[in-house]
Amino acid sequence: MGGGISGLSVSVRLLHRGCDVTLIDSGVNHSSRVAAGMINPLVFRRMNRSWRAGECLDSLRSFYPDLESETATPFFSSVPLRRIFSSDQERRYWLEKQHLAEFREFMNVVTAEDDAFDVVPSPFGSGRVKNVYAINTRAFLPSVRSYVARHGRVITSSFDYNSLSESSYNGVNYDGVIFCEGHQGVHNPWFQFLPLSQTKGEIITIRATTLPDGHSLNRKCFMLPLGNQTFKVGSTYNWNDPTTQPTEEGKQQILDKLSYLIREAVTVLDHEAGIRPTTPDRRAFIGTHPEHPNYHVFNGLGTKGYLIAPLLSEEFVSFLLDGTPLHEEVRIKRFYPGR
């Protein structure tokens, strides 16, 4: 159950393996839809690679283009991304790592052109990130949901926990139930032992006339180009407001961060909020309930959902169908009571 990036990825993987799939989803998604859909393999400040970045890129480079073909919908593209360094120390981190073998897939070597980049304030220079992509979430989510409906079944409804008894839901028997609920997983009665958090994030869409159209910039915030001099900009993190209402405070936080990147006054065209499913160790919750062998969870992908979902969904389906062990860092066993 669940029709965000988690539930759709698992559904597609199961369909590709010849399984019968019923997706139960309310049709309301506040995280995967609102997300900018940017896929960036680096974690800035200390210039580290994202968790399993190389493996994730290998997986998504086939997963998303194949789905584009199967759905006849373009939603996946590469994006030039430039990190505007925030300090001399940050610049040193980049220069120290740019020639290391484990970073060559992710970092371009800083050039004189990068040091001279002055489209936005960049007193410490900048670096260009390799292998950055973007998902058009407004195209991806409905097209893949329709794909699942054509090849399986989609029920547009909120899930009723009281209607589930072992593997029977509303009188229909299933081999198993997979919970891909996003932030709503905090209400799941069977997986209450998982320390899932609800983290609100806000994002704005702006028009800016002096920024390079078609390029993404990052300092304090990210800017994702949408074309025609419009950009998505974000985002915020709020652990104390589990609502999807945009706030003036959130918008102002983003605009304050944006002031480090841009000199002009921008026009705010849209303002949205969503709730991310986050975990204390920034690793997903994947596995089978210790007492209910037909109940499974695939959740907590957090801010890197579009990066890690293709790889983790493939590994999860191999775990379910083939018995292949899950990666140690995502196994829910790490939170079993009394461990």
Residue with tokens 């939603």: 75
Distance, CA of 182 to CA of 2 (rounded, Å) = 7
> pLDDT of 198-211, one tens digit each?
999 999 999 999 88
User: Are both 186 and 212 inside the same structural domain?
Assistant: no
* pLDDT reading at 339 higher than 60: no
Last residue of a domain, one of 255, 278, 301: 278
What pLDDT is recorded for position 29? 61
User: Are both 209 and 246 inside the same structural domain?
Assistant: yes
Q: Encoding tokens for residue 299? A: 């959740």
User: Are both 327 and 226 inside the same structural domain?
Assistant: no
Mean predicted lDDT score pLDDT of the chain: 94
Q: Encoding tokens for residue 9? A: 């990825």
User: Are both 181 and 312 inside the same structural domain?
Assistant: yes
Last residue of a domain, one of 229, 257, 278: 278
Give mean pLDDT, residues 97-114: 97
Domain-located, residue 236 = yes
User: Are both 173 and 305 inside the same structural domain?
Assistant: yes
Percent of the chain with pLDDT over 70: 98
User: Are both 165 and 184 inside the same structural domain?
Assistant: yes
Domain-located, residue 108 = no
Asked if residues 307 and 39 have their Cβ atoms less than 8 Å apart, the reply is yes
User: Are both 22 and 149 inside the same structural domain?
Assistant: yes
What pLDDT is recorded for position 27? 77
What pLDDT is recorded for position 1? 75
Which ranges in 72-136 belong to alpha helices (H)? 88-97, 112-116
User: Are both 153 and 271 inside the same structural domain?
Assistant: no
Which ranges in 39-83 belong to alpha helices (H)? 53-71
State the pLDDT confidence band at 263, using cuts at 50, 70 and 90: confident
> pLDDT of 144-202, one tens digit each?
999 999 999 999 999 999 999 988 999 999 999 999 999 999 999 999 999 999 999 99
> pLDDT of 57-95, one tens digit each?
999 999 999 999 999 999 999 999 999 999 999 999 999
Q: Report which secondary-structure segment, H or E, holds 139.
A: helix 137-151
Phi first, then psi, for residue 324 (nearest 5°) are -70, 130
Give mean pLDDT, residues 257-283: 94
* pLDDT reading at 320 higher than 80: yes
What pLDDT is recorded for position 42? 97
Asked if residues 235 and 215 have their Cβ atoms less than 8 Å apart, the reply is no
Give mean pLDDT, residues 98-125: 95
Domain that holds residue 225: 197-278
Domain-located, residue 132 = no
Burial class (CB in 10 A: 0-12, 13-18, 19+), 145: buried
What pLDDT is recorded for position 32? 74
Domain-located, residue 313 = yes
Give mean pLDDT, residues 252-263: 94
Domain-located, residue 219 = yes
pTM of the shown model: 0.95
What pLDDT is recorded for position 240? 92
Domain-located, residue 326 = yes
What CATH number is attached to the domain comprising 228?
Answer: 3.30.9.10
User: Are both 203 and 315 inside the same structural domain?
Assistant: no
User: Are both 177 and 222 inside the same structural domain?
Assistant: no
Domain-located, residue 105 = no
Distance, CA of 261 to CA of 220 (rounded, Å) = 8
What CATH number is attached to the domain comprising 150?
Answer: 3.50.50.60
How many structural domains comprise the chain?
2
Other C-beta atoms closer than 10 Å to the C-beta of 228 total: 7
User: Are both 176 and 242 inside the same structural domain?
Assistant: no
Residue with tokens 């893949």: 144
Domain-located, residue 22 = yes
